[in-house]
Structure 1
Amino acid sequence: MSVESAVDRDRAAAHRERLAPYVEPHLARRARGEKHPVHDFMFGYYSQRPAQLLRWSAGFPESASLDEVRERRPLIETTRRLLAATASRPAHTGCFGLHEWAMVYRSAAHGTRHPQRLRLGDTATDEVVESHRITCSHFDAFRFFTPDARPRNTLQPGRDDRPDFEQPGCLHAGMDLYKHAFRLSPLVLSDLVADAFELAWEIRVLDMRAAPYDMSGVMLDPTGEEWTPVRIETADGKREYAAAQAGFAERGAPVRAALIAECDRLLAELG
């Protein structure tokens, strides 16, 4: 075995070891037919399967050909355009996670997206929505607003105008760095995919801690901690959420920059 292949083998093992604490509990729950209200999102909403996440790639040109780069040129270009537009804007941290509340606004008529009961009940949850300014900039969150909540949003993002709205303080824009990274696989190094995955995992926890659902007793992988709410309906909860949101925006910036650099590198290969 060559030195290079031995190094790749070690890096592949390290990659799998890094992500196993997230993947293995999910696979065990799936085998038992159990659902997790927080973590299943990472393996359901996002289309990359656990086996794909665990698979190591050294990136282009070690793990992919120039033909693959050429075939994915439209994806690379649109991804770069969205990431660069997002990075060009300041982080807005005043939304307080109200997108999740708008998704259950007037739930007595529209229902909820999760089986857990609402922490404040139907009426008080509606009052939180009605007493706040909703400023969601992310289409893939906005599209799940209830019909009564959609007109309350100050923005009306659409499916095809994401570069006009995305901003780096948005939790969903931070989580979607994982989507952009794995969609570029195996053209990009798997370390970058893992970085984006771990960031998205932590953001998802905050996203649901600030949501209106009561998830008492839910345990969080891989720490084993019990879920606790961020009570964004209070001043203290707003401060806690905004501080965490700013921290994730700061952590997401180098991941976004690395993805932009990878897109530039791949496009340069095409001339």
Structure 2
Amino acid sequence: MTGTTVLARSQWQSLRDRHRDRVDTLIGPHRDRGGRKHPVVDFLFTYYSFRPAQLLRWHPGFGVTLEGGDEYADRRGYHRTTAGVTVDPAFLARRRDAVEYAAALTAATAGRPPRLSCFGLHEWAMVYRSDETRHPVPLRLGADGTDRVVESAEIRCSHYDAFRFFTPEAVPLNIEPLTRADQVAREQPGCLHANMDLYKLCYKLSPLIDSDLTVDCFELAWDARELDMRASPYDLRDLGYEPVPIETPQGRAAYVREQSALAERAAVLRERLTRQCRALATLARA
């Protein structure tokens, strides 16, 4: 399990700089807010624990040696060889369980048909019959109107990490109880949050996964987060987000169109991640 591709210093530095420029363009507005809260974008750096500085750091992925890569020599997961610096096979061996879990989760999710009938109601269930909201933003329909939407709909959430934030009164309204232990068995590729979590799987495996895939998944998570919040009960028009009014037939149809487009993008990324994780798992078991 040694690096099989050697990049000359000029090659990998060019890739590193291109990566930094790409990420800087994406996150510059967030970084430049000077710490001011944002109910949509902050989620990508708080719930998801990869910080901007970490996202800016380029990684070639496992099996690539960086000629003269001194700046990587002391970083987590790397070691020096006679040819340069590469991700340490011992680090891969330590992360074997995480790699195998990611491979199993992504493959199982991809093997199911997408379900496109949840209409983003998980965000509504998180404030149902509650005196508090998760964001300092007004509810578009008010508290009573929000509760009526929840009570008139069937909650079809399939993602545990959304379900676990439901209010106690909303939990029994879901079509099925969800647990962490059942996640691999129930995750499905139409779910907005399952598709956002491709980004989490990538960064949790860093630096084994190449940064191109990680940033592709980050871009998907950014777009999915916007739809998630536009379809939520919050009124975000002052921040430039037009609502997707899922309480109406037209709004539900619009949500499904955007959800479907995101699911198609996610399918390609999920396949790339599954392929990388399976290859890594094979190497880790060797």
Note whether the superposition's TM-score is higher than 0.5.
yes
In the other structure, the counterpart of 1:54 is: 56
In the other structure, the counterpart of 1:157 is: 178
Q: Which amino acid aligns with 1:170?
A: C
In the other structure, the counterpart of 2:10 is: 6
Out of 137, 141, 149, the residue aligned to residue 128 of structure 1 is: 149
Q: Which amino acid aligns with 1:7?
A: Q
Deviations 1:174-215 (A, max 9, x none): 100000011111111100001000000000000000000011
In the other structure, the counterpart of 1:174 is: 195
Distance in 2, Cα, partners of 1:112 & 1:233:
19
Counterpart mapping for 1:186-201 below 5 A: 186-201=207-222
Distance in 2, Cα, partners of 1:3 & 1:23:
28
Deviation at 1:61?
2.1
How well do the aligned residues superpose, as a CA RMSD in angstroms? 1.2
In the other structure, the counterpart of 1:65 is: 88
Deviation at 1:24?
2.1
Asked if 1:23 corresponds to 2:27, the answer is yes
Q: Which amino acid aligns with 1:261?
A: R
In the other structure, the counterpart of 1:239 is: 253
| Secondary structure of the corresponding residue to residue 259 of structure 2 | helix
| Change in 2 beyond 3 A, CA 1:46/1:3 | closer
Q: Which amino acid aligns with 1:57?
A: H
Distance in 1, Cα, partners of 2:7 & 2:151:
63
In the other structure, the counterpart of 1:223 is: none
Distance in 2, Cα, partners of 1:22 & 1:88:
31
Asked if 1:205 corresponds to 2:209, the answer is no
Q: Which amino acid aligns with 2:124?
A: W
Q: Which amino acid aligns with 2:283?
A: E
Distance in 2, Cα, partners of 1:130 & 1:164:
28
Q: Which amino acid aligns with 2:193?
A: H
Identity %: 51
Distance in 1, Cα, partners of 2:163 & 2:9:
46
Query: Structure 2: which 5+ runs fail to align?
Result: 1-5, 65-85
In the other structure, the counterpart of 2:118 is: 95
Query: Structure 1: which 5+ runs fail to align?
Result: 219-225
Distance in 2, Cα, partners of 1:89 & 1:95:
16
Deviations 1:36-75 (A, max 9, x none): 1100000110011111101111111224121111010010
| Secondary structure of the corresponding residue to residue 261 of structure 1 | helix
Q: Which amino acid aligns with 2:122?
A: H
Distance in 1, Cα, partners of 2:258 & 2:217:
17
In the other structure, the counterpart of 2:38 is: 36
Q: Which moved more, 1:99-108 or 1:233-242?
A: 99-108
* Count of equivalent residues: 259
Q: Which amino acid aligns with 1:44?
A: T
Deviation at 1:23?
2.0
Relative contact order higher in (CA < 8 Å, ≥ 6 apart):
1
Deviation at 1:78?
1.0
| Secondary structure of the corresponding residue to residue 93 of structure 1 | coil
In the other structure, the counterpart of 1:85 is: 108
In the other structure, the counterpart of 2:128 is: 105
Q: Which is greater in Rg? A: 2
Q: Which moved more, 1:227-236 or 1:15-24?
A: 15-24
Relative to the length of structure 2, the TM-score reads 0.88
Asked if 1:216 corresponds to 2:247, the answer is no
Distance in 2, Cα, partners of 1:162 & 1:252:
18
Q: Which amino acid aligns with 2:117?
A: G
Counterpart mapping for 1:141-152 below 5 A: 141-152=162-173
Asked if 1:229 corresponds to 2:243, the answer is yes
